[in-house]
Amino acid sequence: MQHSTSSALVVSGWHRKSYNYNDDTKISKQLEGLIRKLHAFVGNAVTRNRYIVLGAGSTQILNAAASALSLENTSSHSPTRVIASVPYYSLYKEQVEYFNAERLEFEGEAYTWRNRSDGRPSTNVIEFVTSPNNPDGRLNKAIVGGPSVKTISDRAYYWPHFTPIPAPADEDLMVFTLSKLTGHAGSRFGWAVIKDETVFNRMVAHMDLNSMGVSRDTQLRAFKLLKAVLEEGTGIFDFAYRTMKTIWERLAATLALSNRFSLQKFNPQYCSFYSKITYAWVKREREEDKDCYAVLKAANIIGRQGNIFGSEDRYVRLSLVRSQDDLDILIHRLRELVSAGTM
Ligand code: PMP
């Protein structure tokens, strides 16, 4: 709202009617340049000598990445295994099972895969590494290594309003999204930064068949927004950091009064207070208090059950980036639960 003019976009009705774009990738070079500039300014990703692919949100990118990497498995008839450490963002599993069931098999917990006893090297494995993680905000690292393990690094939250940025990320295939940078989730715009040319070409081919590239209108909107972000220097990050910090302070103060429920704890090496991630990963402390979701739901607080993230139902994820009113109501209802002794 403070930058409504500089971030506004007006498009005439006659403008941009054809499919045409500058080249086969259907990616605006100006937008690509801006993305590289933004990463250089923030220092959160290496983009020099890397390829960039755009998608309809990172959702489309994640699927394109898994499909592209599965094509590397040419030698065997067995599917490529897909793993992620628990709790993981549930979309990875859902996409693999819905779109790629022939070639990919979601195995779940990365630790189990690493510690399996047969001693065989890991072949044909794709690991999703989400850092910071959804739902618990941890800075995850790859669990399974080796030459035939491909990694998809979901860096959606690797921005300074959520987490410290100790160094630019430089993984083989990194995924980012406007949804978690500026909050424009409905515009559906994400991108990947890729080292390998073959993987890049396969992802471009995927996008072409899937949707003929990202909507040009969306690319224009993303361009205008990223330009406004860059013009403000650290402004948007400072603003978002302060906002997230206030949310977390209020939530932590409320749950600190409960000895039955707790919030995720962050390793102090990452952050002196909390990582200001957009989700609270709430745990019921007592073994017998299994169904965290039901207790919160009875108090009109709707979260997402732990099992959706491959975890236990003692956990619930609460989404924190809502309107001020929603947040006030959430805190109010949590306070009532805590003071009633239910929490
Ligand atoms: N990755 C992570 C870790 C997420 O939390 C989300 C959104 N919840 C996404 C990807 C997908 O976001 P989008 O498709 O809006 O880019």
**pLDDT of 300 over the 50 cut:** yes
pLDDT the model gives residue 49: 97
**pLDDT of 269 over the 90 cut:** no
Give the chain's count of helices (H) and strands (E): 10, 11
ipTM value? 0.99
Q: How far is CA 223 from the centre of its chain?
A: 20
**pLDDT of 51 over the 50 cut:** yes
Best probe residue, ligand 1, of 35, 53, 54, 59 (max atoms within 8 Å of C-beta): 59
Q: How far is the CA of 296 from the centre of ligand 1 (A)?
A: 24
Ligand 1, residue 60: give the atom nearest the CA.
14
Ligand 1, residue 189: give the atom nearest the CA.
16
Per-residue pLDDT averaged across 60-73, rounded? 94
Query: What CA–CA distance (Å, rounded) separates 302 from 319?
Result: 9
Q: How far is the CA of 67 from the centre of ligand 1 (A)?
A: 18
pLDDT the model gives residue 276: 64
Q: Cα separations (Å) of 314 from 95, 98, 277, 301, 323?
A: 25, 27, 20, 15, 27
Query: pLDDT tens digits for 179-212?
Result: 999 999 999 999 999 999 999 999 999 999 999 9
Best-predicted range by mean pLDDT among 29-38, 69-78, 97-106, 130-139?
29-38
What is the pLDDT of the chain when averaged over all its residues? Answer: 88
Ligand 1, residue 62: give the atom nearest the CA.
10
Instruction: Compute the half-sphere exposure of residue 110: CA atoms within 13 Å on the CB side of its CA.
Output: 25
Which tokens in the block code for residue 124?
A: 């044909």
Per-residue pLDDT averaged across 238-253, rounded? 89
pLDDT the model gives residue 54: 97
Measured from the Cβ of residue 187, the count of other Cβ atoms closer than 10 Å reads 19
List ligand 1's pocket residues with C-beta within 6 A: 57-59, 89, 130, 134, 154, 156, 177, 179, 185, 190
Q: Whose CA is nearest to atom 12 of ligand 1?
A: 58
Q: Cα separations (Å) of 6 from 1, 9, 139, 142?
A: 10, 9, 34, 40
Q: How confident is the model at residue 271 (pLDDT cuts 50, 70, 90)?
A: very low
Q: What SS3 class is residue 10? A: coil
The β-bridge partners of 251 are: none
Are 94 and 117 spatial neighbours (Cβ–Cβ below 8 Å)? Answer: no
pLDDT the model gives residue 115: 67
Closest CA to 69 of 139, 157, 133, 128: 128
pLDDT the model gives residue 119: 57
Per-residue pLDDT averaged across 266-285, rounded? 65
Q: How far is the CA of 257 from the centre of ligand 1 (A)?
A: 32
pLDDT the model gives residue 273: 39
Are 41 and 236 spatial neighbours (Cβ–Cβ below 8 Å)? Answer: no
pLDDT the model gives residue 111: 79
Ligand 1, residue 157: give the atom nearest the CA.
3
Q: Which of 85-89, 124-128, 195-199, 241-245 shows the lowest per-residue confidence on average (mean pLDDT)?
A: 241-245
Are 26 and 213 spatial neighbours (Cβ–Cβ below 8 Å)? Answer: yes
- Of all residues in the chain, what percent carry a pLDDT higher than 70? 92
Ligand 1, residue 278: give the atom nearest the CA.
5
Output 201 or 259, whichever has higher pLDDT. Answer: 201
pLDDT the model gives residue 58: 98
Q: How far is the CA of 58 from the centre of ligand 1 (A)?
A: 6
Q: How far is the CA of 181 from the centre of ligand 1 (A)?
A: 11
Q: Whose CA is nearest to atom 6 of ligand 1?
A: 156
Closest CA to 176 of 130, 231, 237, 241: 130
For tokens 């009532």, name the residue: 336
Per-residue pLDDT averaged across 157-183, rounded? 94
Domains of the chain: 29-231 (3.40.640.10), 235-339 (3.90.1150.10)
Q: How far is the CA of 7 from the centre of ligand 1 (A)?
A: 23
Per-residue pLDDT averaged across 270-280, rounded? 59
Are 196 and 74 spatial neighbours (Cβ–Cβ below 8 Å)? Answer: no
**pLDDT of 147 over the 80 cut:** no
